[in-house]
Amino acid sequence: MEITVKQMMQIEENGHQMGFFRKLMMENAGAVTARHITERYHDLTSKKIIVFAGLGNNGGDAFVVARHLAAFGCTPTIILLGHPDKIKTEEARSNWKILEKMNSVNLILASAIDTITDGADVIVDGILGTGMSGKIREPYSSAIDLINQSNAFKFAVDVPSGLDPDTGIVNDKCVKVDITITFHKMKIGMPKNQDMCGKIIVEKIGIPPEAEIGVLL
């Protein structure tokens, strides 16, 4: 079954109200994404992994991905596309705060990042997810271009950044990835743009089925 962004947000809210808080969803989303990366590269210690993170919960998921990858000894680099004070939600901010206490990750605030992807083996796109709207603003726009210029293997968190999840249309620009890990259920527009999404993997993140009552059921 495929769902709309509006339906996903309603299901998310219902789950949160049931006590399955967004922070738990974010942890599961990041953990399952990291698992797919570690399953592809059994020895991560020699891999250069760059994680791009926006200021919303797509970025929050990416913070969790980076923390889980660090446990596999790869020292990921996280590029935050904005100032930490502008991180939108408590669940994302709390995950950033954990990263700030870790020396097994490299944190970079988006400044001169034009060479950061040089030699990267893996890039994780946690820039924009279902909260994207309108023309892509800087520094997200330049980050998308930078990622697209790299020949690293690319994973998108939930949605390739720049893709409209409801239509599959790229209104401005979009990260073209090899694998998209999308959460809970397929978003209706994604199968319409396999070129940008690459292989799409749908992963459950623990949301109770009852959260769909009144939305899908």
CB 77 within 8 A of CB 105: yes
Annotation-wise, does 135 bind a ligand? yes
Contact between 161 and K ion by CB under 5 A: the answer reads yes
For residue 165, whether the previous peptide bond is cis, meaning omega lies within 30 degrees of 0, is no
Residues within window 23-52 making contact with ligand LP7C6HRI, judged by CB under 6 A: 25-26, 29
Query: Which CB, 9 or 102, lies closer to ligand LP7C6HRI?
Result: 9
Contact between 76 and ligand LP7C6HRI by CB under 6 A: the answer reads no
Annotation-wise, does 130 bind a ligand? yes
**Which of 52, 72, 96, 140 contacts ligand LP7C6HRI by CB under 6 A?**
140
CA–CA dist 103, 56 (Å, integer):
23
Amino acid at 143: A
CB 85 within 8 A of CB 59: no
CA–CA dist 208, 210 (Å, integer):
5
Stretch that binds K ion, among 98-106, 153-161, 191-199, 202-210 (CB under 5 A): 153-161
Contact between 12 and K ion by CB under 5 A: the answer reads no
Annotation-wise, does 85 bind a ligand? no
Strand order in the sheet with 122-126: 106-109, 77-80, 49-53, 122-126, 153-157, 179-183, 199-203
**Quick one: what does residue 87 bind among K ion, ligand LP7C6HRI, none, with the CB cut-off 5 to 8 Å set by partner type?**
none
Q: Which residues of 122-160 are buried (b: 16+ CB within 10 A; e: fewer)?
A: bbbbbbbbbbbeeebeebbbebbebbbebebbbbbbbbb
Q: Which residues bind K ion (CB under 5 A)?
A: 58, 125, 129, 156-157, 161
Binding residues for K(+): 58, 125, 161
Site residues (vs ligand LP7C6HRI, CB under 6 A): 8, 12, 22, 25-26, 29, 54-61, 88, 128-137, 140, 157-159, 183-184, 205, 207
